[in-house]
C-alpha cells in the first residue's frame, strides 16, 4: 500500500530538517571558522608536492611576533607526520629585508637552516645582536662554525639569488602583508591578526585543524 501523500511530505520534511540540523551541528563543532579562525585565499596557489600537505611559514627574522612563535613552531614541526611538509619563506616588504632573505637561503644551502633558525631569533631579540648586513652575519656565523669566506661566497651566489627571487614572488602571490603568516596547501592562511587567534598556541591549533582537513580531503580523492 502506498503511503498517504501527507505522510510522504512529512517524512520528506523530517529528512530535510535532520540534514539541516546535522549541518548546523557540524559547523558549530568545527573549532575554527573561515574569516575568524583562518582565511581562504582568493587565488589558490600550487604547492607541487603530490600526496603531501604543505605548510608554508612566511617570516622575518627581525619580527618580534615571529620570534615569539618560533619555539612553538619548532616543536610543532618536530611532531608532524611524514605527509606534512613545512617550508619557510623569508619576506621582504622593503629592500632592507633582502639581506636576511639571503641569510636564510645561504643557511639552507649550507645545511644549517634548521639548526640555527632558533639561534638567529635569539641573537636578534634576546641578545640584541644586529644581523642586518653580510659582514654582521659573517661575524656571528663564524662563531657558529661557518667560515666567513664560505658564508660570503654562498650569500652572493646565483643559487641564493634565485631563491630570494622565488621567495618574493611567493610573498606577492599569496598577498602577504604581515608576518608571521602560515599558509596550508596554498589554500588557507592563518595569522595573528585573526580575531579569534590571540596566541601562538591557537595559531598552531588552527594550522593543525587545516592540515587535518586537507589530509582528509586528499584521502577522499584517492
Give the model's pLDDT for residue 198. Answer: 53
Provide the H-helix boundaries in the chain. Answer: 5-29, 64-78, 98-109, 113-125, 134-142, 148-155, 158-174, 200-220
Q: Quick check: 129 and 141 in contact, CB under 8 A?
A: no
β-bridge mates for residue 56, sequence order: 87, 183
Give the model's pLDDT for residue 194. Answer: 53
pLDDT in tens, the chain (222 residues): 455 666 655 554 544 444 443 433 334 446 788 877 899 999 999 998 899 999 999 999 999 999 999 999 999 999 999 999 999 999 999 999 999 999 999 999 999 999 999 999 999 999 999 999 999 999 999 999 999 999 999 999 999 999 999 999 999 999 999 999 999 999 999 987 654 555 677 899 999 999 999 999 988 776
Q: Is 41 exposed, middle or buried (0-12, 13-18, 19+ CB in 10 A)?
A: middle
Give the model's pLDDT for residue 197. Answer: 53
Give the model's pLDDT for residue 94. Answer: 96
Q: Quick check: 100 and 131 in contact, CB under 8 A?
A: yes
Cis previous bond, 29, omega within 30? no
**Separation CA 59–CA 117 (nearest Å):** 11
Give the model's pLDDT for residue 193. Answer: 66
Give the model's pLDDT for residue 216. Answer: 93
Residues, the chain: 222
**Separation CA 176–CA 40 (nearest Å):** 13
Give the model's pLDDT for residue 11. Answer: 52
Amino acid at each position: 500500500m502506498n503511503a498517504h501523500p501527507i505522510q510522504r511530505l512529512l517524512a520528506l520534511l523530517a529528512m530535510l530538517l535532520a540534514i539541516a540540523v546535522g549541518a548546523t551541528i557540524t559547523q558549530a563543532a568545527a573549532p575554527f571558522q573561515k574569516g575568524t579562525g583562518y582565511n581562504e585565499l582568493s587565488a589558490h596557489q600550487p604547492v607541487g608536492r603530490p600526496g603531501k600537505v604543505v605548510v608554508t611559514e612566511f617570516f622575518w627574522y627581525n619580527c618580534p611576533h615571529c620570534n615569539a612563535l618560533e619555539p612553538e613552531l619548532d616543536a610543532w614541526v618536530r611532531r608532524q607526520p611524514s605527509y606534512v611538509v613545512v617550508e619557510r619563506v623569508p619576506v621582504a616588504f622593503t629592500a632592507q629585508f633582502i639581506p636576511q632573505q639571503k641569510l636564510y637561503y645561504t643557511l639552507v644551502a649550507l645545511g644549517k637552516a634548521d639548526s640555527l633558525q632558533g639561534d638567529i631569533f635569539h641573537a636578534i631579540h634576546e641578545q640584541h645582536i644586529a644581523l642586518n648586513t653580510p659582514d654582521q652575519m659573517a661575524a656571528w656565523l663564524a662563531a657558529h662554525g661557518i667560515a666567513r669566506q664560505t658564508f660570503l661566497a654562498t650569500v652572493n651566489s646565483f643559487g641564493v639569488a634565485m631563491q630570494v627571487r622565488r621567495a618574493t614572488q611567493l610573498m606577492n602571490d599569496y598577498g602577504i602583508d604581515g608576518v608571521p603568516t602560515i599558509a596550508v596547501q596554498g589554500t588557507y592562511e592563518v595569522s595573528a591578526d585573526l580575531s579569534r587567534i590571540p596566541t601562538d598556541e591557537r595559531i598552531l591549533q588552527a594550522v593543525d585543524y587545516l592540515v587535518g582537513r586537507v589530509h582528509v580531503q586528499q584521502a577522499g580523492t584517492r
